[in-house]
Amino acid sequence: MVDFAFLDSGTGGIPYLQRLLEKKPDASCIYAGDTANFPYGEKTHEQIVKCVFEIAKKIIEKFNPKVFIVACNTMSVNALDVLREVFPATQFVGTVPAIKLASSVSKKRKIGLLATQSTVDNPYNVDLKNHFASDCELVLRADPDLISFIEHESFTATKEESIKAVMPAINFFYENGCDTIILGCTHFLNLAELFQEAADNVSGGTLKIVDSREGVTNRALSIFDSLNQNAADSKSEHEQKKSRLYVTGLSKAKDQNEYDVICNRYHLEWGGII
């Protein structure tokens, strides 16, 4: 049993794992990227539900996590309800676009949502907007090229190459009058600081970048604490020194090199193929 499992289609959820470990350094964690099925953002709802179910089942059978973080907006908006129904004994935490946070930041009441095509098209955003940002205008942009760049290239790319990759999105929202951009695909979190730097350069500091790292990790930790286990079973069976990164396959030959760099950067052990 591990304390926390994180799931995404690739590298997107790793910054959530990193944030959680900053708050709880002794947590035992595994991270799984369903890389064989990457990208999720271009799949149909039915395909997403099927893929998420299969990888979640493997993770639960192999690691039995106390808290299971679906660190992917596309998986969460499409399949979280199904996961909760099919695996009622597992505590799931989903990741959805930080519309509430963006609403608290935006002065112009014009918010950009950068996400996958599937997330952008999902009616869940309309519910979130109506609930938390009803007086705001939401400007949507799907960016599969940027997501692919982050998954396959960004860890070994130069800073100039990464800036070049994020600029079309920054320019799009700035030209559309937004003063806040939600990183609504977890992949973007790998470049969160660079997004803010690029936005500052374009806007002179008026364009803010927000994400759901704080909300998701706090929710996961509060569920973990509320499980209120006795001392005997609060210790995980595997006393892992480092969190481990697993993938379901390599979608491009050079991805192995990307994953080696990621393991070094985030202090993860390479777990191999799950």
**Which residues are near ligand DGL by CB under 6 A?**
8-9, 12, 38-41, 72-74, 116, 119, 147, 185-187
Contact 252, 3 (CB under 8 A): no
Instruction: Tell me whether residue 43 is exposed, middle or buried, using C-beta atoms within 10 angstroms of its C-beta: 0 to 12, 13 to 18, 19 or more.
Output: buried
Which structure tokens are listed for 39? Answer: 């990208």
The type of residue at 228 is N
Instruction: Reduce the DSSP state of residue 92 to 3 states and report it.
Output: strand
- Our CB check for ligand DGL shows the closer of 122 and 236 to be 122
- Our CB check for ligand DGL shows the closer of 63 and 149 to be 149
- Our CB check for ligand DGL shows the closer of 40 and 173 to be 40
- Our CB check for ligand DGL shows the closer of 138 and 147 to be 147
CA 122 to chain centre: 17
Q: Of the listed 29, 72, 136, 178, which one is catalytic?
A: 72
- Our CB check for ligand DGL shows the closer of 36 and 157 to be 36
- Torsion over CA of 155, 159, 161 and 166, rounded to 10 degrees? 90
- Our CB check for ligand DGL shows the closer of 72 and 245 to be 72
| Closest CB 116 distance from ligand DGL, rounded Å | 4
User: Has 185 been annotated as catalytic?
Assistant: yes
The residue with its CB nearest to ligand DGL is: 41
Q: Of the listed 29, 51, 185, 263, which one is catalytic?
A: 185
| Closest CB 274 distance from ligand DGL, rounded Å | 17
| Closest CB 270 distance from ligand DGL, rounded Å | 20
How many Cα neighbours within 13 Å face the side chain of 150? Answer: 28
Which structure tokens are listed for 140? Answer: 């949507």
Alpha helices in the chain, H assignment, sequence order: 14-23, 45-63, 73-86, 99-105, 117-121, 124-132, 144-152, 159-175, 192-203, 213-226, 231-234, 255-266
DSSP string, 207-272: -EEE-SHHHHHHHHHHHHHHT---HHHHS-SS--SSEEEEES--SSTTHHHHHHHHHHHHTEEEEE
Spatial CA neighbour of 19 closest among 55, 69, 63: 69
| Closest CB 233 distance from ligand DGL, rounded Å | 32
| Closest CB 148 distance from ligand DGL, rounded Å | 8
| Closest CB 245 distance from ligand DGL, rounded Å | 15
Q: Which active-site residues does the annotation give?
A: 72, 185
